[in-house]
Amino acid sequence: MKMLLTGARVIDPAQNINDFMDVLLEDGKIAKIDADLSPSLKTKDRGKIQILKLKGKLIAPGLMDMHTHLREPGLEYKETIASGANAAVVGGFTSIACMPNTEPINDNRSITEFIKRKAAQAALAHVYPIGAISRNSAGTQLTEFWDLKDAGAVAFSDDGKPVMDAALMRRALEYAHSLSLPVISHCEDTNLSAGGQMNEGYYSTILGLRGTPSIAEEIMVARDILIAEFTRAAVHIAHVSTAGSVDLIRTAKKRGIKITAETAPHYFTLTDDALQAYSTNLKVNPPLRSAADVKAIKAGLADGTIDVIASDHAPHARTDKELEFEYAASGISGLETSLALSLRLIHEQVLTWPELISKMSLQPARILNLAKGTLKPGADGDVTVIDPERIWTVNVKSFRSSGKNSPFDGWEMQGKAILTIVDGEIKYDDRAQDKEA
């Protein structure tokens, strides 16, 4: 089956394309991309080709979210692989990578294979499992990296928990490097963060909630930079939240250290003053930081210090969130709001369109060594079509994710994925408002 996407502006940072182009999909792959493909095709293929007219829309390589939490196996009441993959395509993501903090932890081949099997059954977005660095993510013994890679793991992380033992982190970086897979580091010194409920600062003081200081993150970022420099291996820093981390990463990159970094939309959208509402939907780890931190995160995104925007989609059930602040779980259900919140960076002129698309498709694909994130002929037919003008209101009740825990409920957004195409098949279609004949 052939599908022609026509009339839209195509943004493909890998090919330096930011122009009006036609894209032809055939047999699940990108077949052609050119200024005007319709005349040549019409005569030959009339009737056999699905033509999608997309005037006023943007075509991007399928978006990739390299940091999500699906809760299967073990915590299906929060999210299943199928419900998470469903939320992904609604959010415009054709690929997601999922963290290993399930129950049990994804620290072995059978769980990695299970995740892949469930994802294949769901047949929505591509799902790439991330294997644990340490057994049971307990931080003492490395997992079987080779075995995990062989089963399909695309990276290693103990996300949700830091690797506190620097010697173990050193071995992890060395071993992962030999397998050409990245290590994704959750940077948190748990002695400094112990008992922390929110960012340590003015608001934690007036609210009477114990704070997590920014140095709890930065000390570990600094440590990982030193380990990466010493081992000459790559490290990827997850969910950067502080100005100090941005500075450390910027300097390390200048020194040629193999470091990449991501942040999540809540870290450039919300500040810790919002916690005055005492809403547990604002509880997240690392915590929402100060206005100065948000400014630095935006500067880090703008100058390329922060390579990737990832959702850190962390779905939780009502029973995990409707508790006293101290007992509530951390996390925000992010897959269905990540793109729209990120588009605000374009409206604010922090990022250009190609920069944003790159941080949400090409860059994560590069870091995970996946042949994705581009519309080059021959590439997989993963495409996201965005309506940059669509005004819509976040409503958690209509989330496909089982996790309704979003502080953005009721927010008005501009810009939305309206078509999510995976391997040449439409997996999500929200053209309802402006479908053309």
Contact of residue 382 among ligand DOR, Zn ion, none (CB under 5-8 Å per partner type)? none
> Shortest distance, CB of residue 12 to ligand DOR, whole angstroms?
32
What is the nearest approach in angstroms of ligand DOR to the Cβ of residue 343? 23
Q: Which does 285 bind (CB under 5 to 8 A by kind): ligand DOR, Zn ion, none?
A: ligand DOR
Q: How far is the CB of 69 from ligand DOR (least distance, A)?
A: 4
Smaller CB distance to ligand DOR: residue 201 or 286? 286
Q: Are 272 and 203 in contact (CB under 8 A)?
A: yes
Distance set, CA 8 to CA 26, 93, 302, 307, 378 (Å) = 18, 19, 26, 26, 20
3 state DSSP class of 73: coil
In angstroms, the first-to-last Cα distance of the chain is 19
Residue 250 binds which of Zn ion, ligand DOR, none (CB < 5-8 A, kind-dependent): none
Q: Please report how the helices 291-302 and 243-254 are oriented relative to each other, as an axis angle in degrees rounded to 10.
A: 30
Name the binder of 118 from Zn ion, ligand DOR, none, CB < 5-8 A by kind.
none
Residues whose CB is less than 8 angstroms from the CB of residue 119 and which lie 6 or more positions away in sequence, other chains included: 81, 85, 125, 126, 127
d(CA 235, CA 259): 5
Binding site for ligand DOR (CB under 6 A): 69, 101, 159-160, 186, 284-285, 314, 330-331
Round to whole Å and give the CA distance between 85 and 96: 8
- Catalytic position from the list 189, 224, 272, 312: 312
> Token pair of 129, please?
């499992």
> Which C-beta is closer to ligand DOR: that of 101 or that of 420?
101
Check if the beta carbon of residue 394 is closer than 8 Å to that of residue 408: yes
How far is it, in rounded angstroms, from Cα 268 to Cα 290?
10
Of 107 and 159, which has the nearer Cβ to ligand DOR?
A: 159
Q: Which does 321 bind (CB under 5 to 8 A by kind): ligand DOR, Zn ion, none?
A: none
Q: Which does 200 bind (CB under 5 to 8 A by kind): Zn ion, ligand DOR, none?
A: none
Q: In the complex with Zn ion, which residue's Cβ is closer, 233 or 314?
A: 314
C-beta separation of 151 from 113 below 8 A: yes
Structure tokens at 290: 């100060």
CB 46 within 8 A of CB 94: no
Q: How far is the CB of 317 from ligand DOR (least distance, A)?
A: 11
What distance lies between CA 363 and its chain's CA centroid? 11
CB of 122 to ligand DOR, least distance (A): 20
- Rounded to a whole number of angstroms, the minimum distance from the CB of residue 102 to ligand DOR is 9
Q: Which residues bind Zn ion (CB under 5 A)?
A: 159, 312
Of 277, 384, 290, 302, give the one whose Cα is nearest residue 335: 384
Q: Between residues 239 and 427, which has the closer beta carbon with respect to Zn ion?
A: 239
Q: Concatenated DSSP letters for 90-101?
A: HTTEEEEEE-S-
Q: Is the dihedral of CA 67, 332, 317, 85 positive or negative?
A: negative
19 is catalytic: no
Which of Zn ion, ligand DOR, none interacts with 12 (beta carbon under 5 to 8 A by kind)? none
Residues 28-45 as b/e (b if ≥16 CB within 10 A, e otherwise) read eebbbbeeebeeebeeee
Residue with tokens 């997240």: 284
Coil vs helix vs strand at 292: helix
Question: With 0-12 CB in 10 A as exposed, 13-18 as middle and 19+ as buried, what is 378?
Answer: exposed
In angstroms, give the least distance from the CB of 89 to ligand DOR. 21
**CB under 5 to 8 A by kind: which of ligand DOR, Zn ion, none does 359 bind?**
none
Residue 103: CB minimum distance to ligand DOR, A: 11
CB-wise, 10 or 184, nearer to Zn ion?
A: 184
Q: Which residue has the tokens 């007036």?
A: 206
For ligand DOR, the closer CB: 162 or 415: 162
5 vs 220, which CB is nearer to Zn ion?
Answer: 220
Q: Is 303 helix (H, G, I), strand (E, B) or coil?
A: coil
Residues catalogued as catalytic: 312
